[in-house]
Amino acid sequence: MLLFKRKAMPVIAAAAGAVLLLGGCSSGKSGSGGYGGSTGKSSPSPSNPASPTGAAGAATTVTATETEFKIALSQSTFKPGTYTFTVVNKGRYPHNLTVAGPGVTSKASPTLQGGGSGALTVTLKAGSYELWCAVDSHKAEGMDMKITVA
Ligand SMILES: [Cu+2]
């Protein structure tokens, strides 16, 4: 307070007001008000969460549910593109999801404990891919499947 002389006060108040306005603006984008750049309302900001290859659109998210000893995908048809597999371990043993096929050399999610989940992002081209769990002999136990990308 000692430093705030009569002239500094309004400036600081204005700055604080601006910050408040900005905060209000970004959270509730409908009431944008008419101050400053009224036209550019096109860039919110929660753009892409984590996908590194942001070239041609966002990754398609597919859920891969794993149990003993099975992998179930939330979709069965695939077009070429980038996919983020959300791997959910609903079993009791550790599992992972490993993918191999054209352009993908055995890319694996982290090994997940029972109840855990993780993600694996791969870019799929036209062709056949194999998805399996690389933990112990789970692949031989049945955690092994093929998908066709077309
Ligand atoms: Cu497994």
Distance of CA 23 to the CA centre of its chain: 25
Q: What pTM was computed for the model? A: 0.63
26 located within any domain:
no
137 located within any domain:
yes
Tell me how crowded residue 121 is: count the other CB atoms within 10 A of its CB: 17
Query: What pLDDT is stored for residue 37 in this prediction?
Result: 42
Query: What pLDDT is stored for residue 122 in this prediction?
Result: 98
103 located within any domain:
yes
Looking at the 3D structure of the chain, how many domains does it have? 1
35 located within any domain:
no
136 located within any domain:
yes
CA distance 113 to 67: 11
73 located within any domain:
yes
Between the CA of 62 and the centroid of ligand 1 the distance, in Å, is 18
Between the CA of 113 and the centroid of ligand 1 the distance, in Å, is 10
Between the CA of 44 and the centroid of ligand 1 the distance, in Å, is 40
Strand partners, 100: 130
Between the CA of 131 and the centroid of ligand 1 the distance, in Å, is 11
Between the CA of 95 and the centroid of ligand 1 the distance, in Å, is 3
Token output for 59: 């990754």
Reported as a single tens digit per residue, the pLDDT across 104-139 is 999 999 999 999 999 999 999 999 999 999 999 999
Q: What is the CATH number of the domain that holds 114?
A: 2.60.40.420
CA distance 79 to 49: 22
Reported as a single tens digit per residue, the pLDDT across 59-104 is 999 999 999 999 999 999 999 999 999 999 999 999 999 999 999 9
Reported as a single tens digit per residue, the pLDDT across 30-43 is 444 444 444 445 54
CA distance 94 to 111: 6
40 located within any domain:
no
84 located within any domain:
yes
Q: Any idea which residue has 């750049």 for tokens?
A: 37
